Structure 1
Amino acid sequence: MAKNILLTGGTGFIGQHLTDLLIENGFSVSVLSRSDRKNTSSVTYYKWDLTQNYINEEAILKADCIIHLAGEGIVEKRWTEKRKKDILESRTKPIDLIFSILKKNNKILDAFVSASAVGIYGAYTNETICEETTQPANDFLGITCQEWEKAVDKINSLGIRTVKVRTGIVLGKDEGFLKKIVPSFKSGLGVILGTGKQYIPWIHIADLCEIYLKAVVTNEMHGPYNACITDDTTNASLSKTLANLFGYKIWLPKAPAFILKIVLGEMSAAVLEGQRVSSEKIQKTGFVFQFTDLERALASCLT
């Protein structure tokens, strides 16, 4: 019988791509969903409701491995205190519920693989190349990621192998990060944000899904892994490359940082700052990125 992988956040951008890859590799897939969905020949849906602290326990008990992708979008809304609480709890609360079910039923998984983010290193721009051992930051993103990963450590305390995938900006066709910025670039109105010198650690959706698959099947993998390309991509270089792919050079002036801070508030740090991040640890597992060239990666998402 095929091993079962349970996904939280399985109906989202990353989850849908990962579901396809898991099925292609012979796994059965279950997905926790807030809405009622009909099962398909390849995916079984189970109900969960975090507002009621409810997860259908059958989904947990059936699973051989759980991949946790769920979480409110970081840049979807202005960071009010309530929004920041929602961002954090949407990541940690599901893990706490899963932990309680696993513990109550003495259920041991093959692995628990959780999303995390390179935001753990903070919204700062400098020349440091952050590794998994780099000290976490004390800003909102850094603290959120630390609490997220601490919740994962509770699963590890049950004797379950855990992997934390610290993800950068994910590039995918008509989805995620590019869905927000492509329309303006396509219309010839692309701009550089702030100084443009802020680094953008990026990864193609195909490579990210392959990392999750490797985390599931590789028993030697445990702990945090950076999931992004180690290069010198900045907001300026990404913007210029994207404009070039649409056949023009950026002609509009840079979007002033002070304007973005007024409009976005504290959330502006997520677009005005960024660090370089090392992918050495994941590559040492034998993982080979399919997309390492930014222009090629972007082009694949535009066709």
Structure 2
Amino acid sequence: MKVLITGGTGLIGTRLAEMLIDSGYEVALLSREPAKSSHFRSFRWDVQAGTIDEAAVPYADYIVSLAGASVADGKWTDERKREIMTSRLGGLALLARELAKPSHHVRAVISASAIGIYGDAGDKQVTEETPPALPTHDFLADVSHQWELAAAPIAALGIRTVIPRIGVVLSTEGGALPQMAKPMKLGAGAALGSGKQYMSWIHLDDLCRLFIAMLEDESWRGTYNAVAPYPATNQAFTEVLAGVLHRPLLLPKVPAFGLKLAMGEMSEIVLASQNVSAAKVLAQGFRFEYPELRGALQALYGGE
């Protein structure tokens, strides 16, 4: 079975490609600048120009769409916001255009989304049935909502489409966790804002195992929260991380106004509260290797 991954050089795509190969799949990457040294076959596309290697989609039995500019790289200027949005919508539009052609055998598409779609939900637990946080001035909610709408034309073609709403991905290779661990290792760890906001997280390997389950079992379709079963408040997350790293928590909380000054609108990423349910994924029969935060962090930082 052949899997084509867009955004395959990012944090999730890199690990997913490795785990797919280990599971016996063939993997190819769809990239703007295919790396000559890559272990994987690569096809070229240019989302801005609307061009794609015509052999890319016919190669695949399955497509995993992860492409999109990182929301965490740099302040959200108007230009940056446009890039974050268009990189997601443009990629899916290109895929939909190619999938509308008869010359392919794609069985299913996994199209990434994010729990940002729920906005700042406070203490309230949210499920896949919870409406998106719209109308809104919440950029992450808007991006996630538009991202999901952009996958609708693929589903309308009759192709099985699965939309995982991804939580905070835990990995030492990138994402939020190294940024949180860095000050802590220097003895300057602290909860952010009130510390009461919920963080719904998932270990990177569990996320990739979930994607593989979505590919292999045809009963997966529609939206699923890709989060572990036990979310943690920012305060609790910080305390567990400090314990795993054997560091004290000496500082008071970092005030919300300070984060907003430093990060601008991007402070939404760490200040929004999202208590997201994993019940639908569990009901589907998926079992997490790392359901609890301490175990997930110990697996990542056990040698430190």
Which residue matches 1:163? 162
* 1:137 equivalenced with 2:136 (yes/no): no
Any stretches of 5+ residues in structure 2 without a counterpart?
Answer: none
* 1:209 equivalenced with 2:205 (yes/no): no
- Checking the alignment, whether the CA contact within 8 Å between 1:170 and 1:202 is kept in structure 2 is yes
**Kindly, what percent of the aligned residue pairs are identical?**
39
After superposition, the Cα gap between the structure-2 partners of 1:232 and 1:168, relative to the gap in structure 1 and judged at 3 Å, is closer
Deviates more, 1:258-267 or 1:205-214: 258-267
Measured in 2, the distance between the counterparts of 1:150 and 1:106 equals: 25
Which residue matches 2:114? 117
Which residue matches 1:63? 60
* 1:35 equivalenced with 2:30 (yes/no): no
SS at match of 1:175: coil
SS at match of 2:180: helix
Deviates more, 1:247-256 or 1:63-72: 247-256
Measured in 2, the distance between the counterparts of 1:236 and 1:249 equals: 13
Measured in 2, the distance between the counterparts of 1:285 and 1:31 equals: 28
After superposition, the Cα gap between the structure-2 partners of 1:48 and 1:293, relative to the gap in structure 1 and judged at 3 Å, is same
Match of 1:84 among 81, 85, 103: 81
Q: TM-score, normalised by structure 2?
A: 0.94
Q: TM-score, normalised by structure 1?
A: 0.94
Which residue matches 1:189? 188
- Checking the alignment, whether the CA contact within 8 Å between 1:112 and 1:162 is kept in structure 2 is yes
Deviates more, 1:46-55 or 1:281-290: 46-55
SS at match of 1:79: coil
Measured in 1, the distance between the counterparts of 2:229 and 2:35 equals: 39
Deviates more, 1:170-179 or 1:10-19: 170-179
Match of 1:101 among 98, 110, 115: 98
SS at match of 1:249: coil
Kindly tell me the number of residue pairs found equivalent between the two proteins. Answer: 299
After superposition, the Cα gap between the structure-2 partners of 1:9 and 1:280, relative to the gap in structure 1 and judged at 3 Å, is same
Q: How far apart are residue 106 of structure 1 and its match? A: 5.2
Q: How far apart are residue 125 of structure 1 and its match? A: 4.4
- Checking the alignment, whether the CA contact within 8 Å between 2:7 and 2:68 is kept in structure 1 is yes
State the 4+ residue runs in structure 1 displaced beyond 4 angstroms: none
Measured in 1, the distance between the counterparts of 2:175 and 2:189 equals: 17
Q: How far apart are residue 51 of structure 1 and its match? A: 2.6
- 1:29 alignment partner AA: V
Measured in 1, the distance between the counterparts of 2:121 and 2:29 equals: 37
Which residue matches 1:262? 261
Which residue matches 1:276? 275
- 1:95 alignment partner AA: L
Q: How far apart are residue 88 of structure 1 and its match? A: 1.1
- Over the residues paired in the alignment, what is the CA RMSD in angstroms? 1.5
Any stretches of 5+ residues in structure 1 without a counterpart?
Answer: none
Measured in 1, the distance between the counterparts of 2:99 and 2:230 equals: 40
SS at match of 2:165: strand
Q: How far apart are residue 192 of structure 1 and its match? A: 1.1
Q: How far apart are residue 118 of structure 1 and its match? A: 0.6
Which residue matches 1:11? 9
Measured in 1, the distance between the counterparts of 2:51 and 2:158 equals: 24
- 2:69 alignment partner AA: E
SS at match of 1:132: coil
Q: How far apart are residue 144 of structure 1 and its match? A: 1.1
